[in-house]
Chain A
Amino acid sequence: DIQMTQSPSTLSASVGDSVTITCRASQSISSWLAWYQQKPGKAPNLLIYKASSLESGVPSRFSGSGSGTEFTLTISSLQPDDFATYYCQQYNSYLYSFGQGTKLEIK
């Protein structure tokens, strides 16, 4: 099974900051990686697929990069609505797996 590891687990930042979340896969997953945002009590929302493709309707301040085993999600110019938990997910294998999540908090 493919293990996904995110870092950091918690990130404190201010409105207007730029932040980066890292996701590492235990083996190569090519570019088969998605990023989701989840707010408390809500379902996850797809942000990025195929490592760097922005889902329709998602603001352009969200961007993704990487391939193989290392990936990043960058949020530029943080907005109040961006404070949430972020998950990466690999879909290289039918045995899908998610990272443990990164909680983005207001500093």
Chain B
Amino acid sequence: EVQLVESGGGLVKPGGSLRLSCAASGFTFSTYTMNWVRQAPGKGLEWVSSISSSSSYIYYADSVKGRFTISRDNAKNSLYLQMNSLRAEDTAVYYCARGGQWLGTSYFDLWGRGTLVTVSS
């Protein structure tokens, strides 16, 4: 089955760190650009970060630049998001989403169920 499964969410104090993972299955993970998108409670979707298939190109939203790091391990079919210096406004469901198989921008055609990150003291 083609799917993405996120894990690693939880409750963390402001200033703390958390590492999210996304396990991919059912498709050739190493050929796709991958993305993280988040959604604060009751709010809309916000793109967080993207990484190209070979990790050569990485992009971040201004709201997380310098604090979050996206990475991938194609041998393990896994995507990661290292989140440091967390703030209350980072509280959200974090989704892993599949982009295109080409260099360049793309829509997101496969999404995981998401993992909830709560930043609170």
B44: chain A residues within 8 A (beta carbon): 87, 98-101
Which positions 80-121 of chain B face chain A at CB distance < 8 Å? 95, 105-109, 111-114
A83: chain B residues within 8 A (beta carbon): none
Residue of A nearest to B59 (CB): A94
Which positions 29-75 of chain A face chain B at CB distance < 8 Å? 32, 34, 36, 38, 42-46, 49-50, 55
Which of B12-20, B45-53, B67-75 is the interface stretch? B45-53
Residue of B nearest to A101 (CB): B44
CA distance A91 to B17 in the complex (A): 30
Q: Report if B61 contacts A (CB, 8 A).
A: yes
Q: Report if A12 contacts B (CB, 8 A).
A: no
Contacts between chains A and B (CB distance < 8 A), count: 57
Q: Which of B45, B109, B113 contacts A87 (CB 8 A)?
A: B45
Total interface residues on B, CB under 8 Å, equals: 21
Total interface residues on A, CB under 8 Å, equals: 26
CA distance A55 to B110 in the complex (A): 11
CA distance A101 to B62 in the complex (A): 21
User: Interface on chain B toward A: helix, strand, loop, or mixed SS?
Assistant: loop
Interface string of A1-13 (1 = CB under 8 A from B): 1000000000000
A38: chain B residues within 8 A (beta carbon): 45
Residue of B nearest to A89 (CB): B107
Establish whether residues B45 and A98, one from each chain, have CB atoms under 8 Å apart when the complex forms.
yes
Q: Report if A14 contacts B (CB, 8 A).
A: no
CA distance A23 to B113 in the complex (A): 26
Which positions 12-35 of chain A face chain B at CB distance < 8 Å? 32, 34
Residue of A nearest to B95 (CB): A43
